[in-house]
Structure formats: C-alpha cells, structure tokens
C-alpha cells in the first residue's frame, strides 16, 4: 500500500511541476540592434594641405529622435502618432549614427573633422574651412499600408563661420529624402533610411560646393 501511495504521490508531484512550468511565460528575447551599415564610398577623399576641410558638428535632435529607439508611423491609421519597435532598436542614438554615415559619405568630397580636431588645426593659406551644424528633424519608417513602407529623413543644415561658436549663419538648407523599403518590417526600414542618408549626403555635398564661402 505504501508503494502505491508513494507512486501516486510521485505522479501528482510531476503533474504539479509540469503545470507550473506551463504557466511561466518565456522571457522576451533581446531587441535586435541595427546600425546603418558600412558606407561604400567609391573614391578616397581628398588629402593634403590643399584639401577642402569640412568641420561637422555633433547632430542635434529633440524628443523621441534623440535616442536609440527605431521609430515608425502608420500613415493609414494615424500619421500623427509616432511609434517605436519593441523588438528592434538602433545600436546607438539615431543622430550619432546619421552623423557618422554623413561624415563617411562627405569624406569623398572633403576632409571631414570634428570640432575638437578643427580647434587645434593649423590652417594653411587657401580657402576657408566649411563648418556645418546639423539638426535631425525626422528619421522614421512610414507605412502607407500593412505591406508598404518607406523611410523618411529630414534634416536642417546650417553653414556657420569656421571656428566660431556663434555668429550669423551664412546659409541654411532643409534636406528631405524618402526611399522605399524593400520589406514592411524593421530590417526594410533600416535599408531605406540608410539609402536616404546617402542621398542626403550627396545633396549636401552639392549644396556646399555652391556655398557662399566656396
């Protein structure tokens, strides 16, 4: 009798354990992290004392844009609502990634420096350095429908006197780029936004070539 009771008790304990395990929710997986990939610049940038120097300040952004969240809008539902992917995020704050990508692409046309390097640089005779202040206005994936999306980038570029902390801007340009996403998910949005940044860099390079201090 004692053996039967022990055996029954064992089965009961196993059933309780299995029931308890089934009731425990699995731990959520960590969000996937994305960056904008490597920039494929066709030709090396200019070098030497006669190369044109572009001083690229840190990019400013406000609100939800100033962080690593990967943002999107459902235009077919409510285009005014800014949402964030739960299982996908940028590997660094979005403004930092955009500035890095712009610096890589603009490096094909200029010697790109940060403010700290520019401050200690001995400037040779020749055309003055270009100094650019950037503000990220929009960087998000837009869904026109459940299966169709595109990436939109908007930024404000302000040309300022080289080496100055303030002063009157010399010129200003708002760049707005849209690129279709190959898939209606986070990975597709990343590809579309990377292409938008590359297109913005080309537009900025053309604008700077026609700038008042060129």
Contact 110, 43 (CB under 8 A): no
Supply the CATH classification number for the domain 33-209.
Answer: 3.40.50.10610
CA distances to 6, 65, 100, 156, 192 from 97, rounded to whole Å, are 64, 12, 5, 16, 14
Q: What is the pLDDT along the chain (214 residues), one digit of tens a residue?
A: 455 544 544 544 444 433 444 444 455 578 899 999 986 665 556 655 557 788 898 899 989 999 999 999 999 999 999 999 999 999 999 999 999 999 999 999 888 888 766 655 656 555 667 889 999 999 999 999 999 999 999 999 999 877 555 567 889 999 999 999 999 999 999 999 999 999 999 999 999 988 766 5
| Confidence at residue 80, expressed as pLDDT on a 0 to 100 scale | 94
| Confidence at residue 12, expressed as pLDDT on a 0 to 100 scale | 45
Where along the chain do its domains lie? 33-209
pTM greater than 0.85: no
67: Cβ contacts below 8 Å, ≥ 6 apart = 93, 94
């Amino acid at each position: 009798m004692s053996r039967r009771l022990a055996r029954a008790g064992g089965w009961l304990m196993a059933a309780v354990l299995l029931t308890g395990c089934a009731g425990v929710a699995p731990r959520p997986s960590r969000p996937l992290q994305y960056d904008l990939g490597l920039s494929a610049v066709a030709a090396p940038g200019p070098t030497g004392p006669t190369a044109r120097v572009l001083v690229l300040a840190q990019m400013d952004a406000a609100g939800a844009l100033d962080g690593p969240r990967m943002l999107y809008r459902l235009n077919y539902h409510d285009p005014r609502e800014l949402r964030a992917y739960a299982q996908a995020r940028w590997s660094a704050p979005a403004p930092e990634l955009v500035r890095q990508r712009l610096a890589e692409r603009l490096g094909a046309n200029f010697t790109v420096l940060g403010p700290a390097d520019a401050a200690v640089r001995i400037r040779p005779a020749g055309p003055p350095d270009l100094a650019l202040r950037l503000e990220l206005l929009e960087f998000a994936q837009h869904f026109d429908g459940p299966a169709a999306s595109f990436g939109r980038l908007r930024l404000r570029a302000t040309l300022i006197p080289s080496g100055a902390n303030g002063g009157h801007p010399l010129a200003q340009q708002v760049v707005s780029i849209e690129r279709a996403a190959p898939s209606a998910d986070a990975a597709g949005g990343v590809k579309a936004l990377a292409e938008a940044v590359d297109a913005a860099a080309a537009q900025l390079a053309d604008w700077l070539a026609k700038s008042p201090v060129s």
